[in-house]
């Protein structure tokens, strides 16, 4: 298969399918009958004004909030109907970059990026150090491993958060 064929076939490969989603807070319905598909390789943007439900939608998409109605399917699997082990596996497929970077202030950048690797893999400490250095270098922070979040700029914190979000090589970022 050529690169173009691979790209073409992957663009029709749904990673997330949202069907009839309703999101609500108590009796207040935020969104109703939301339907969309995110295919492998897509860049998907959620835009809207303050308070319109962007963060709530993301919480639903990553399994932090259960829909009032409808389904969210990940490669055809419903998170809320899956067994606990499968739910855990599905959660690991997401890398989340928080608006503030959400770094732990008492930990170095290397320790922040290493945290998901230590919790969710069986890599050795040496392998984790190597991967952490690679991810930090990937976002332009090579050499900043031992810095604390308070010692770097806001933009650098954002990039360190991105390195942590990419630590487990998620399918979705």
Each residue of 6-15: pLDDT tens digit?
444 445 778 8
The predicted structure's pLDDT at residue 164? 94
The predicted structure's pLDDT at residue 93? 80
Each residue of 124-171: pLDDT tens digit?
999 999 999 999 999 999 999 999 999 999 999 999 999 999 999 888
In this predicted structure, the answer to whether residue 46 has a pLDDT above a threshold of 60 is yes
Each residue of 85-121: pLDDT tens digit?
888 888 878 887 776 668 999 999 999 999 999 998 9
Run of H or E residues at 34: strand 28-39
- Contact (Cβ atoms closer than 8 angstroms) between residue 168 and residue 90: no
The predicted structure's pLDDT at residue 6? 41
Query: Which of the listed CATH numbers 3.40.50.300, 3.30.300.30, 3.40.50.10190, 3.40.190.80 matches domain 3-91?
Result: 3.40.50.300
Domain chopping of the chain, boundaries: 3-91, 109-165
């Amino acid at each position: 298969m050529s690169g173009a064929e691979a790209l073409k076939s992957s663009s029709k490969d749904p990673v997330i399918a949202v069907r009839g989603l309703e999101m609500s807070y108590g009796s207040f319905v935020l969104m109703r009958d939301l339907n969309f598909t995110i295919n492998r390789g897509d860049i998907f943007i959620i835009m809207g004004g303050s308070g319109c439900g962007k963060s709530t939608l993301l919480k639903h998409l990553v399994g932090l909030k259960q829909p009032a109605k409808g389904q969210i399917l990940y490669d055809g699997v419903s998170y809320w109907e899956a067994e606990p082990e499968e739910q855990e596996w599905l959660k690991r497929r997401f890398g989340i970059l928080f608006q503030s970077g959400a770094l732990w202030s008492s930990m170095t950048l290397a320790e922040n990026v290493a945290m998901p690797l230590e919790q969710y893999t069986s890599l050795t400490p040496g392998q984790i150090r190597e991967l952490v250095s690679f991810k930090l270098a990937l976002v332009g922070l090579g050499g900043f491993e031992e810095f604390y979040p308070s010692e770097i700029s806001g933009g650098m914190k954002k990039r360190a958060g991105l390195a942590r979000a990419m630590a487990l090589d998620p399918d979705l970022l």
